[in-house]
Structure 1
Amino acid sequence: MKNKAMEVRLADELLDFLQTRRTLHLSTLDQDGHPYASYAPFAIGDDCFYVLLSDIAIHGVNLRNDPKAAVLVVQDESESQTIFARVRVNYQVSAEHIPFESGEAYDAGIQALFDKQGERIHNLSKMTDFNLFKLTPLGGRYVKDFGRAYTIAGHSLTGESIEHLSDGHKPRAGASAL
């Protein structure tokens, strides 16, 4: 029971952290399978991320051609006590293009983005080169500090379980302190 209570607390903490961020880092694959890193404003809805990306943007084209991607949401450097242990969560995701013609599904994603990002979303969503993507987590990792890293198992933002990684850093044999 104690572990389940801890998982619920971590899940709530993780969602709170995500709600305080406005952008995510996005890694997509180009047509040759090479990674491409970028960022995008996001919103949360339906236990996933929504992003609105232009066909002019490389990451938008990449997601239309290959749904495999990775997402990183990270604490701002100015908020961190140590640069080596910024709070962060990363996910492997599967991207689904939600066409304008899909009606309610499109409207729900745009509304989530509008609620988080403001009026500009309505203007961009009216442009034919902007596409809505739903990024569904396939699992990930939540890192809060040194020795406080957790595996997120499952296909949601908080997964079906969040488990502490118990195999931590190990000193290098023969290494001397500077």
Structure 2
Amino acid sequence: MDAKRKAIEHMNSDHMDTLIMLCKHFGAVQNPTNVRLDSIDEDGMDIACDQLLVRVAFLKKAEQNGEGFKTAIIDLMSSLDIKEGIAAVSKDMIDFIDSFNSVLISSLNGDHCVCSYAPVVRDNNDFYILISEVSEHFKSIKENSDKISIMFLEDESKAKTVFARKRASFRSKAIFLDDKKESLFSKFESKFKSESAIKMIKNMSDFHIIKIEINKGRFVKGFGAAYDTDGFEIIQRAHGANPHNNKR
């Protein structure tokens, strides 16, 4: 018996609970019936039920043998945390965000976008960034303060797959707080106390502290695990079903 057929028979015989969970997760079917693993290859699995056929992609190509398929399925299940609720997802998102010292920023400068980053501090439901007026993004953030997007993006070296890096992004609004710079700067001194540059920057008049208010956003944990947010509140799983089209 070849490895594919053996894997299919094993999953259908001994791991129906896993197939049902994957069908619910990727197909957004609340109560799938007659679930079965239809096919498997190095890139993923096709899980069939009465309601639809669901393509489930592996995190990376699987070696086409018994252990290879087993490892790919275990890695996939470990990445999903299917059983966790909204509260757990929300905590995961906040913990993920708090692991960063800087944030990616997209802003609008005339007829083109500016991609940049800045040191960041979170204080309850708001962020504060520290930027210089000589930087390219200063002008774009100041002139189009309500057309900003920020993103916290998982490091490539830590990602299980480069095609589904963990990330949290938000539509945002910038508010310049020059009149409160002295009091707010202590937040940066506390977070970046090991950075020698922070003492130098404090005395530079071209640096500004900007409050970033976040609005609608999205938290992506991996393939088939995207959540819509309103600020830090998880609203719902994004998409009603697996949004990806598969070739047959």
* TM-score computed with the length of structure 1 as normaliser: 0.82
Q: Which amino acid aligns with 2:92?
A: E
Q: Match of 1:168?
A: 242
Determine if contact 1:11/1:162 at 8 Å carries over to the other structure.
no
After superposition, give the CA deviation of every residue in 1:140-172 in whole Å (9 maximum; x if it has no partner).
00000101000002xx3x13x431113323324
User: 1:98-117, aligned counterparts within 5 Å?
Assistant: 98-99=177-178, 101-102=179-180, 106-117=181-192
Aligned partners of 1:114 and 1:8: how far apart in 2?
31
Aligned partners of 2:132 and 2:205: how far apart in 1?
9
Q: Which amino acid aligns with 2:140?
A: N
Aligned partners of 1:45 and 1:33: how far apart in 2?
33
Deviates more, 1:66-75 or 1:32-41: 32-41
After superposition, give the CA deviation of every residue in 1:120-157 in whole Å (9 maximum; x if it has no partner).
3343132110011011101100000101000002xx3x
Deviates more, 1:7-16 or 1:84-93: 7-16
Q: Match of 1:50?
A: 128
Aligned partners of 1:13 and 1:131: how far apart in 2?
30
Deviation at 1:117, TM superposition (A): 2.4
- Higher relative contact order by CA 8 Å / sep ≥ 6: 1 or 2? 1
Q: Match of 1:93?
A: 172
Match of 1:61 among 124, 128, 139: 139
Q: Match of 2:221?
A: 144
Aligned partners of 2:153 and 2:210: how far apart in 1?
21
After superposition, give the CA deviation of every residue in 1:52-108 in whole Å (9 maximum; x if it has no partner).
100110111211211021001111000011001111000110000011x33xxx345
CA RMSD of the aligned region, Å?
Answer: 1.9
- 1:10 is aligned to 2:89: yes
Aligned pairs, number: 161
Aligned partners of 1:47 and 1:109: how far apart in 2?
15
Determine if contact 1:110/1:121 at 8 Å carries over to the other structure.
no
Q: Match of 1:133?
A: 210
- 1:39 is aligned to 2:111: no
Aligned partners of 1:124 and 1:64: how far apart in 2?
20
Deviation at 1:45, TM superposition (A): 1.1
After superposition, give the CA deviation of every residue in 1:34-66 in whole Å (9 maximum; x if it has no partner).
211011121111411111100110111211211
Aligned partners of 1:136 and 1:108: how far apart in 2?
19
> Do the aligned partners of residues 163 and 107 (structure 1) sit closer, same or farther apart at CA in structure 2, a change above 3 Å counting?
farther
Deviation at 1:110, TM superposition (A): 1.9
> Do the aligned partners of residues 108 and 6 (structure 1) sit closer, same or farther apart at CA in structure 2, a change above 3 Å counting?
farther
Aligned partners of 2:221 and 2:125: how far apart in 1?
21
Q: Secondary structure at the match of 2:244?
A: coil
Identical-residue share of aligned pairs (%): 25
> Do the aligned partners of residues 107 and 163 (structure 1) sit closer, same or farther apart at CA in structure 2, a change above 3 Å counting?
farther
Determine if contact 1:23/1:40 at 8 Å carries over to the other structure.
yes
> Do the aligned partners of residues 28 and 86 (structure 1) sit closer, same or farther apart at CA in structure 2, a change above 3 Å counting?
same
Determine if contact 1:10/1:162 at 8 Å carries over to the other structure.
no
Aligned partners of 1:15 and 1:22: how far apart in 2?
13
- Unaligned stretches of 5+ residues in structure 1: none
Q: Which amino acid aligns with 1:134?
A: K
* TM-score computed with the length of structure 2 as normaliser: 0.60
Q: Match of 1:73?
A: 152
Deviates more, 1:49-58 or 1:60-69: 60-69
